[in-house]
């Protein structure tokens, strides 16, 4: 039975972003982008949900060229904490803005776990994104061990507190993404109730940190979202869409998730 679609809060139009991670080549991405554009011709979708994709950095220009003039936006999976300079391999916010990127993922759990990205680095990257006019999509989440030991709110609170100062004057120009680490690429998914509880905590913690725009901030859920579970997850009052990994690499699956966010059959 399909869950009823919530009525979105004012200023919180549903948002779905595809994180392609380190997948694809030119031929694959050309095909995926063509499939997304072809499937995105429903006017009801463009009015009801915002959608973006974050390809690997070498293919951002290709996405920009193929999606220009469409209702689909694009962004990056990472951003430098530095404005410019001798930082080999880094990509500055101004460079992303030059490619008309709308979004940059920041603090994804894989960046934190595999590359040692700290809360302080996340905050510096948020600052650079905002200064460049790129909307930061700030990822927070706990590991399975942290959840099972009752530390979920401590972990989320620490990660959120690190960026509150950056967001106090950024009304409407940032997104949060709750991604329980234990549900990313594992096939496990937080229950709708678990997702809602975490999203409500995130919103309240932002408000407690002086980010008074948090009531209107979009908070996405990320963690094994699929066409079959998207509608129920997105029906929760504080879940404003999804940050989608594996399913975003299949055009039909990603479009089905977008339709679930839009409440369009």
Catalytic sites, residue numbers: 108, 179
CB-based contacts of 91, cutoff 8 Å, min separation 6: 57, 76, 78, 79, 80
How many whole angstroms separate alpha carbon 97 and alpha carbon 24? 23
CB-based contacts of 136, cutoff 8 Å, min separation 6: 79, 103, 104, 106, 125, 126, 129, 130, 174, 175
- Residue 138: beta bridge partners? 106, 176
How many whole angstroms separate alpha carbon 93 and alpha carbon 81? 9
How many whole angstroms separate alpha carbon 79 and alpha carbon 175? 15
In terms of phi and psi (left: phi > 0; alpha: psi -120 to 50; beta: otherwise), the region of 107 is left
Task: Count CB neighbours of 215 within 10 A.
Answer: 14
- Helix (H), strand (E) at residue 199: helix 192-208
Structure tokens of 197? 């509880």
């Amino acid at each position: 039975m399909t869950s009823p679609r919530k009525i979105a809060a004012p200023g919180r139009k549903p948002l779905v972003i595809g994180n392609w991670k380190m997948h694809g080549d030119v031929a694959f991405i050309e095909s995926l982008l063509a499939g997304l554009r072809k499937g995105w011709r429903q006017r009801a979708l463009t009015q009801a949900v915002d959608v973006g994709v974050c390809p690997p950095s070498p293919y951002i220009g290709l996405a920009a060229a193929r999606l220009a003039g469409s209702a689909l936006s694009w962004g990056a999976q990472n951003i430098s904490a530095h404005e410019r300079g001798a930082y080999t391999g880094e990509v500055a916010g101004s460079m992303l803005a030059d490619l008309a990127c709308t979004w940059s993922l920041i603090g994804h759990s894989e960046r934190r776990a595999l590359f040692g990205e700290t809360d302080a680095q996340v905050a510096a990257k948020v600052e650079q994104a905002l200064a460049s006019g790129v909307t930061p999509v700030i990822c927070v989440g706990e590991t399975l061990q942290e959840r099972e030991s009752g530390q979920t709110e401590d972990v989320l609170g620490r990660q959120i507190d690190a960026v509150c100062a950056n967001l106090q004057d950024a009304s409407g120009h940032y997104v949060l993404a709750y991604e329980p680490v234990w549900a990313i690429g594992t096939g496990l998914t937080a229950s709708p109730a678990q997702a809602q509880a975490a999203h409500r905590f995130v919103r309240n913690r932002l408000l407690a940190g002086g980010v008074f725009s948090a009531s209107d901030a979009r908070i996405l859920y990320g963690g094994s979202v699929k066409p079959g579970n998207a509608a129920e997850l997105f029906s929760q009052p504080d879940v404003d869409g999804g940050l989608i990994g594996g399913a975003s690499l299949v055009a039909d699956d990603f479009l089905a998730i977008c339709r679930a966010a839009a409440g369009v059959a």
